[in-house]
A = this chain, B = another copy of it.
């Protein structure tokens, strides 16, 4: 009897894999897990292209879509508040000056004009304009069986639209109190994310968070454990804590199918678990990422403080285009969890899924043996 979430989604293993890369998403779903496309960076037209590709490449298996819609933003300021044109003027001149100086110190040239005009992408940006269209696009694809919101519960009309289409709604949270709010808002699947997780995260560790969230939401709401899941022992541990499945992200940054920049893959494979930091330097909200010259600079009390989301994301987006283009190893951080210390080589996605499953089974057998008569 697998955890009930497996039957609900029609999947073989309760392994949820978040990735911005469609090849990884498809490979996980084909292997019996549940790939989830991080779709923040795709406008509705691009998203349609990605999902059409996925429909053709998952062998008919289900998959999910993840966006980052901050509930409080939607419709604020006449429905257009979170557009770059409205927001850029809120960024103080001293912040741009600081970034320019920092990049100059690292000998990063400005972007050539033909690259400087591409639209700005950042968490919490353009949500008024694009979120509902992204959801509409997603719901047109019948293999999309779950929509997950990375910034708490999505607005009510989005939850209703998903439910009307038979699509489960998931949301990430970092505390029992937030989990309670999400369930009250109509969220079906709580992704409880420990402080060791990559990207936006709270302060409570996975070990402490999961049982409290499970007890708060009760037995009928599936909880997925995020943060610290890099292998099958950790998967078994997450299930022991009461989760119905695991939500993984970092693990897929270095698989053979991933489109992660080469210099970042190198940084990720070299990093130890102590090389990540929870910092506001990337999006404006605390997010775990590789420590880099970028995070160090924003942590220095002598420099300007990071701005709130989505303003900091606009700054980061502008800077990272410059330093990614020149493959700057010292500035190139990446949102990743503490499990980065367990990533030591490039492996095919299918192999990673199967090793998770095998180690999960072995671990369960080892635990059962502890209780057998001596």
Q: Which residues of A contact B (CB under 8 A)?
A: 1-3, 175-176, 194-196, 202-209, 211-212, 227-231, 233-234, 236-242, 273-274, 301, 337-339, 341-342, 361, 363-364, 366-372, 374
Contact = CB atoms under 8 A, between A and B. Distances in A.
Contacts of A1: 369-370, 372, 374
Given A3-B370, A195-B195, A202-B274, 18 more contacts: A1-B372, A2-B370, A194-B205, A196-B204, A205-B228, A207-B227, A207-B229, A207-B234, A208-B230, A208-B342, A211-B234, A233-B242, A234-B240, A236-B240, A237-B237, A240-B240, A240-B364, A240-B367
Given A1-B369, A196-B207, A342 B273 contact: no
6 contacts: A206-B207, A208-B273, A208-B337, A208-B338, A209-B273, A237-B238
Nearest first, the 4 closest Cβ-Cβ pairs linking A and B are A207-B228, A237-B237, A196-B205, A236-B240
How many copies of this chain does one complex carry? 2
A60 B176 CA distance: 42
A145 to B, nearest CB: 20
A230 B211 CA distance: 10
Given A233-B242, A237-B237, A206 B205 contact: yes
Given A211-B233, A212-B341, A273-B209, A374 B2 contact: yes
